């Protein structure tokens, strides 16, 4: 069968992200004997025209659309991507069978399938079920497959988690361009998250059991990226790189032993960063750490379901300072119990720790199946009829009307704070300018060069009236 794989993601802020999920699907589909072509819309100025041209040239029997996110989860500057996906499906309908999947789709599969008008939906990991779906489309019962949802169906069989995670096939994709314009290549070492942050969708998408890839396969994949694509910077996309500690330590030692000429960064849980692990990470090429801290308030850490304490955050940060490595804290304001006092606690802790950057979000996007959805229902923030396809954010009642003004005022007093939703030290114009230079790794490392904080940095002036 001729299959056209479409990556629907067009978001380039803060940088374009390589469609890793679609690359994982290419491996089993090619192994099943299908003829594949890829259309990546991230770099297409006219996406619908590009889809039409691909349909005319390749004449696929099936189109598989990967939906990474349904919006940019940023308040108040939120962007939804669903209307664009619906337009893609409309262009393909009648010319090929349209299948939609991906992490974004899996959050609300029946709703998104109904909204877009696709023929089939794939929930969760598609590596095993997608080849089976292709067979069933040719003659079988697609609805009997786990994780396959049909239009109008009230129920579906739950997806079956993979027992073995394979290696993505990047040969059909523009790895070089992502590395050039995004400043890094992405790589996954594990799936699954056993933690219980009240807003997080990782356990819903990947399950609570951690499934590890063989270290030798990961090192071989890095070697291929280095030798085949000239990659010199990696970002590990695991929700938590340093858990389990023993696995992270084994991987770092293997990377160092392989003498891989790459630097890299990753998302880190401060609860699992003993000095010997950080030392091994730096020896393996790590030059930046991102902490999913969420708050500097003990009250808010408990409220958000975090596994660690303020003291743990302090110890991990001091360790980074001692070793001289750049680090950032991600702070999430507006959760249940947030107040002017807890906001002040977060700013105070960040002042004390002096990270390279503080990346801040205001408001918490509500997704089905998360604990915060239940709390929002109980508080009347949403009702059972609320359409969560449209971005809906939780904002604690005590600071709902003042949060953005408070964060803006305090962040502008500090040069190392980045607030995407309020365009403090970040804007689309600024990011486009940075891409003209050879920048490797997270862009937040550049904030230490700022003289002072700015709103709407490098934003084009408004047109003359």
Indicate the CATH number for domain 2-149: 3.40.50.2300
* 461 pLDDT more than 50: no
pLDDT at residue 138, as a whole number: 85
Longest dimension (CA), the chain: 64
How large is the average pLDDT for residues 415-441? 77
How large is the average pLDDT for residues 310-327? 98
* 462 pLDDT more than 50: no
pLDDT at residue 458, as a whole number: 52
pLDDT confidence band for 307 (50 / 70 / 90):
very high
Helix axes 175-182, 215-229, angle to 10 degrees: 90
User: Is the Cβ–Cβ distance between 40 and 71 less than 8 Å?
Assistant: no
Choice among 180-184, 198-202, 297-301, 399-403 with the minimum mean pLDDT: 180-184
What's domain 175-449's architecture? Alpha-Beta Barrel (3.20)
Choice among 14-28, 177-191, 421-435 with the minimum mean pLDDT: 421-435
Cα distances from 174 to residues 20, 102, 146, 179, 231, in angstroms, run 12, 19, 32, 9, 12
How large is the average pLDDT for residues 70-93? 95
How large is the average pLDDT for residues 258-263? 96
* 459 pLDDT more than 60: no
pLDDT at residue 464, as a whole number: 42
Examine domains 2-149 and 175-449 and report if their fold is the same.
Answer: no
* 465 pLDDT more than 50: no
**Strand duo 2-7 + 35-40: pairing:** parallel
Nearest 5°: the CA angle 404, 407, 408 is 80
pLDDT at residue 202, as a whole number: 93
Q: Which one, of 396, 403, 399, 397, lies nearest residue 362 by Cα?
A: 403
* 4 pLDDT more than 70: yes
Per-residue pLDDT reduced to its tens digit, 41-59: 999 999 999 999 999 999 9
* 17 pLDDT more than 50: yes
pLDDT at residue 12, as a whole number: 87
* 36 pLDDT more than 50: yes
Q: Which one, of 293, 296, 285, lies nearest residue 262 by Cα?
A: 285
Query: What are the boundaries of each domain within the chain?
Result: 2-149, 175-449
Question: If you average pLDDT over every residue of the chain, what do you get?
Answer: 93
* 437 pLDDT more than 70: no
What strands, in cross-sheet order, belong to the sheet with 2-7?
A: 35-40, 2-7, 62-66, 97-101, 120-122, 148-149
pLDDT at residue 390, as a whole number: 92
pLDDT at residue 443, as a whole number: 84
d(CA 457, CA 453): 9
**Above pLDDT 70, what percent of the chain?**
94
How large is the average pLDDT for residues 3-8? 98
* Sequence-ordered list of residues with C-beta below 8 angstroms from that of 160, at least 6 positions apart, any chain: 124, 128, 129, 146, 147
């Amino acid at each position: 069968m001729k299959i056209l794989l479409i990556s629907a993601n067009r978001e380039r802020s803060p940088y374009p992200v390589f469609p890793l999920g679609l690359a994982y699907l290419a491996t089993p589909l090619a192994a099943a004997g299908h003829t594949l072509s890829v259309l990546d819309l991230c770099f297409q100025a006219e996406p619908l025209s590009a889809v039409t041209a691909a349909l005319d040239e390749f004449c696929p029997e099936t189109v598989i659309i990967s939906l990474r996110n349904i919006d940019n989860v940023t308040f108040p500057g939120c962007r939804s991507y669903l209307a664009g996906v619906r337009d893609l499906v409309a262009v393909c309908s009648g010319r090929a069978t349209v299948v939609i999947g991906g992490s974004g789709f899996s959050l609300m599969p029946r709703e998104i399938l109904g909204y877009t008008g696709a023929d089939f939906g794939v929930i969760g990991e598609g590596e095993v079920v997608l080849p089976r779906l292709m067979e069933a489309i040719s003659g079988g019962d697609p609805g009997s497959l786990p994780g396959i949802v049909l239009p109008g169906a009230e129920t579906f069989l739950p997806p079956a988690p993979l027992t073995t995670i394979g290696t993505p096939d990047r040969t059909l994709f523009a790895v070089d361009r992502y590395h050039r314009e995004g400043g890094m290549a992405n790589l996954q070492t594990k799936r699954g998250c056993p933690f219980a942050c009240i807003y997080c969708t990782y356990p819903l998408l990947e399950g609570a059991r951690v499934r590890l890839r063989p270290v030798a396969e990961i090192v071989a994949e890095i070697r291929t990226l280095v030798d085949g694509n000239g990659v010199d910077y990696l970002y590990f996309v695991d929700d938590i790189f340093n858990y389990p500690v023993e696995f992270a330590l084994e991987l770092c030692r293997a990377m160092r032993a392989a003498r891989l000429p790459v630097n890299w960064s990753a998302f880190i849980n401060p609860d699992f960063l003993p000095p010997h692990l950080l030392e091994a990470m730096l020896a393996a090429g790590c030059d930046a750490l991102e902490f999913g801290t969420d708050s500097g308030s003990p009250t808010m850490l408990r409220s958000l379901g975090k596994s660690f304490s303020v003291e743990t955050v302090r110890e991990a940060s001091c360790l980074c300072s001692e070793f001289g490595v750049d680090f950032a804290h991600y702070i999430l304001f507006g959760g249940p119990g947030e107040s002017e006092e807890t906001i002040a606690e977060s700013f105070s802790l960040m002042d004390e720790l002096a990270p390279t950057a503080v990346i801040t979000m205001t408001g918490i996007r509500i997704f089905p199946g998360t604990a915060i959805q239940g709390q929002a229902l109980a508080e009347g923030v949403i009702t059972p009829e609320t359409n969560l396809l449209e971005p809906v954010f939780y904002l604690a009642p005590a600071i709902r009307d003042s949060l953005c003004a408070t964060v803006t005022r305090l962040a502008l007093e500090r040069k190392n704070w980045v607030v995407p939703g309020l365009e403090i030290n970040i804007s689309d114009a600024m990011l486009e300018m940075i891409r003209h230079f050879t920048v490797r790794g997270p862009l937040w490392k550049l904030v230490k060069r700022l003289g002072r904080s700015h709103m709407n940095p490098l934003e084009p002036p408004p047109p003359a009236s």
